[in-house]
């Protein structure tokens, strides 16, 4: 029999921490955590991230929703957190008959009113099923009864919710912070009125921006969106991890949406129109976040940060306030046509963060097709400005398999890289720089995404993609100082399957989970054969889903 978390169970749990790696992932109590009283809460939610703590702790969406619930005015709601345990702790929980729990309350997931998953990556879906079962909740929604929590989900994956519709009770479509309090109020009211599970789900389906598969009647769904982020609360005090996180820094969202509208980019289309925070608000939020968290690095987050109006002035003001304390700033996403030497020098005034430029395609023709309105000269000038400002290492992003792509477009990637390195050698000689420029290229594979102009464009088949990668490797191997890293073809194939798939894929997810798929975002855990066997078992043709037009 599985035991709930009692004082005796806590003692058993503590003993397990001596047997596992990184126990700080599972103890809670970080600086900035809410730790609200369980017994006085009117409704309780556990925000679940189907990946490891060091990934999920930095997720901005969960930070925002966690803050929104715990600081809700006039209502005593409780938000807790749970992350996918590493296999060592997962196995220990099973062996001891203990349930997966909220980090702060130490209560089993089955005792919460709402479990809210963040769907960030398609290959995390089997992990989601595992977390539900570990928490004492049936992973199929049809097997849950009135005693079980309502399981909701949001994030990028919710824009095609059908593959996981057999496991999730309700999906948030759009900006979650606009509707999460309404969901909590609805669940709390239903609990007070002793409504059945189905009655509660029908109430949730009446909320704008909430999709409930079991009661969906074909009515057009309308996403819910924040109209003015400048007057929307933003978390300035949030859990700071005891151990290092993958993105271990403070984050200030300066802008939501992107007006560039690259035709492959889902966030551009689902987050349109562009909404910006005022400089005064950004400066205030930055001051408060740094004071509350103690971080020595912060980033200004946007789909295209240097498209923010007056970005140079803003960065200079922030640097003047914080650089003398040794606090550095980074801009994670930058457009080549908006990059300047002045901005580069401002960013690296304390310490150099990574600079990434995303040409996406190697020729002007293909950049025009995808609406990436950058000229070759703009890309080269951005790379040279970076090099002149003191960066010896820069990153470039390209994508292969784009609609209408030919091998001439791959030649364009080679020519662009060769030109950048040639001009870098000239700059080195003219300025007397000591180190050569080196470029690391990440080459991803086009995945058609819903709600983009390319959603009906099939992905290249495996053999074509293999030949393109082989061709590009051979073509660029003699460019000194350039390294190319390619995404895995099969992983990208699975992403395309789930991005475009229907409810039949629930059988594939369930089979993959039963066959051992877990934490597949990590190379050491991913098993290609598990997915191939599961697809055959479920009767799913991966090629048909990914390549259909």
**Position 234 pLDDT exceeds 50:** yes
- Asked if the domains at 7-215 and 249-353 fall in one CATH topology, the answer is no
Enter the pTM of the model.
0.94
Instruction: Report how far residue 199's alpha carbon sits from residue 491's, in angstroms, rounded to the nearest whole number.
Output: 39
Looking at every residue in the chain, the average pLDDT score rounds to 93
Q: Hey, where are the domains in the chain?
A: 7-215, 249-353
Residue 349 is predicted with a pLDDT of: 65
- Give the tens place of pLDDT for each residue, 408-429: 999 999 999 999 999 999 999 9
For 170-237, the three-class secondary structure string (H helix, E strand, C coil) is EEECECHHHCHHHHHHHHHHHHHCCCCHHHHHHHHHCCCCEECHHHCCCCCCCCECCCCHHHCCCCCC
**Position 9 pLDDT exceeds 80:** no
Decide if domain 249-353 falls under CATH 3.40.50.720: no
Tokens describing residue 191: 């609990």
Residue 137: partners with Cβ closer than 8 Å, 6 or more residues away? 109, 110, 115, 144, 148, 149, 151
**Position 88 pLDDT exceeds 50:** yes
Average pLDDT over residues 235-263: 91
- Give the tens place of pLDDT for each residue, 389-400: 888 999 999 999
The DSSP-derived string for 326-360 is T-EEE-SSB-GGG--HHHHHHHTSSS----EEEEE
Residue 549 is predicted with a pLDDT of: 85
Per cent of the chain over pLDDT 70 is: 97
Average pLDDT over residues 41-49: 97
Residue 341 is predicted with a pLDDT of: 72
Nearest of 250, 160, 262 to residue 501 by alpha carbon = 160
Residue 350 is predicted with a pLDDT of: 62
**Position 233 pLDDT exceeds 50:** yes
Average pLDDT over residues 343-349: 74
Instruction: Report how far residue 298's alpha carbon sits from residue 77's, in angstroms, rounded to the nearest whole number.
Output: 29
**Which CATH superfamily, name and number, covers 7-215?**
Cobalamin-binding domain (3.40.50.280)
- The pLDDT confidence band at residue 346, using thresholds 50, 70 and 90, is confident
Residue 409: partners with Cβ closer than 8 Å, 6 or more residues away? 361, 362, 363, 365, 366, 402
Average pLDDT over residues 146-173: 96
Instruction: Report how far residue 480's alpha carbon sits from residue 421's, in angstroms, rounded to the nearest whole number.
Output: 8
Lowest-pLDDT choice from 33-37, 66-70, 223-227, 494-498: 223-227
Residue 304 is predicted with a pLDDT of: 86
Average pLDDT over residues 524-540: 97
Beta-bridged to residue 256, according to DSSP, are: 275
Residue 1 is predicted with a pLDDT of: 40
- The pLDDT confidence band at residue 338, using thresholds 50, 70 and 90, is confident
Residue 271 is predicted with a pLDDT of: 87
């Amino acid at each position: 029999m599985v035991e709930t978390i009692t004082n005796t169970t806590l003692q058993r749990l503590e003993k397990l921490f001596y047997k596992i790696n990184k126990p700080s992932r599972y103890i809670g109590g970080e600086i900035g955590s809410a730790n609200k009283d369980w017994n006085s809460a009117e409704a309780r939610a556990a925000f679940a991230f189907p990946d490891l703590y060091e990934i999920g702790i930095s997720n901005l969406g969960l930070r925002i929703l966690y803050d929104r619930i715990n600081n809700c005015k006039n209502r005593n709601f409780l938000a807790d957190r749970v992350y996918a345990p590493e296999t060592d702790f997962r196995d220990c929980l099973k062996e001891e008959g203990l349930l997966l729990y909220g980090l702060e309350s130490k209560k089993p997931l089955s005792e919460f009113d709402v479990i809210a998953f963040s769907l960030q990556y398609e290959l995390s879906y089997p992990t989601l099923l595992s977390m539900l079962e570990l928490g004492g909740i049936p992973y199929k929604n049809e097997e849950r009864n009135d005693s079980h929590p309502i399981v909701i989900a949001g994030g990028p994956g919710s824009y095609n919710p059908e593959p996981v519709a057999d496991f999730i009770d309700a999906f948030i479509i759009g900006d979650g912070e606009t509707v999460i309090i309404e969901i909590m109020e609805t669940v709390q009211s239903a609990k007070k009125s002793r409504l059945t599970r189905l009655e509660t789900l029908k109430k949730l389906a009446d909320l704008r921006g909430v999709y409930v598969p079991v009661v969906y009647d074909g009515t057009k769904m309308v996403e819910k969106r924040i109209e003015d982020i400048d007057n929307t609360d933003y978390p300035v005090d949030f859990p700071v991890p005891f151990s290092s996180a993958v993105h271990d820094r403070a984050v200030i969202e300066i802008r939501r949406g992107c007006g560039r509208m690259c035709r492959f980019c889902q966030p551009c289309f689902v987050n349109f129109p562009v909404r910006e925070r005022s400089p005064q608000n950004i400066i205030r939020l930055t001051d408060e976040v740094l004071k509350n968290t103690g971080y020595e690095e912060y980033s200004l987050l946007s789909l295209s940060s240097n498209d923010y109006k007056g970005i140079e002035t803003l960065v200079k003001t922030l640097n003047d306030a914080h650089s003398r304390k040794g606090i550095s700033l980074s801009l994670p996403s930058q457009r080549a046509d908006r990059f300047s030497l002045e901005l580069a020098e401002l960013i690296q005034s304390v310490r150099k963060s990574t600079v990434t430029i995303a040409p996406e395609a190697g020729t002007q023709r293909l950049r025009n097709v995808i609406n990436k309105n950058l000229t070759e000269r703009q890309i080269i000038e951005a790379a040279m400005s970076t090099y002149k400002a003191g960066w010896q290492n820069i990153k470039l992003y390209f994508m292969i398999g784009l609609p209408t792509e030919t091998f001439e477009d791959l030649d364009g990637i080679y020519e662009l890289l060769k030109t950048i390195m040639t001009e870098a050698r000239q700059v080195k000689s003219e300025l007397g720089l000591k180190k050569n420029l080196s470029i690391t290229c990440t080459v991803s594979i086009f995945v058609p995404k819903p709600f983009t102009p390319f959603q009906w464009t099939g992905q290249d088949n495996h053999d074509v993609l293999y030949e393109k990668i082989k061709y590009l490797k051979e073509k660029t191997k003699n460019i000194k100082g350039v390294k190319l890293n390619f995404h895995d073809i099969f992983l990208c194939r699975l992403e395309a399957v789930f991005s475009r798939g229907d409810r039949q894929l629930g059988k594939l997810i369930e089979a993959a989970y039963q066959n051992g798929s877990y934490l597949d975002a990590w190379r050491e855990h991913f098993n290609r054969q598990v997915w191939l066997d599961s697809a055959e078992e479920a009767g799913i043709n991966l090629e048909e889903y990914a390549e259909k037009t």
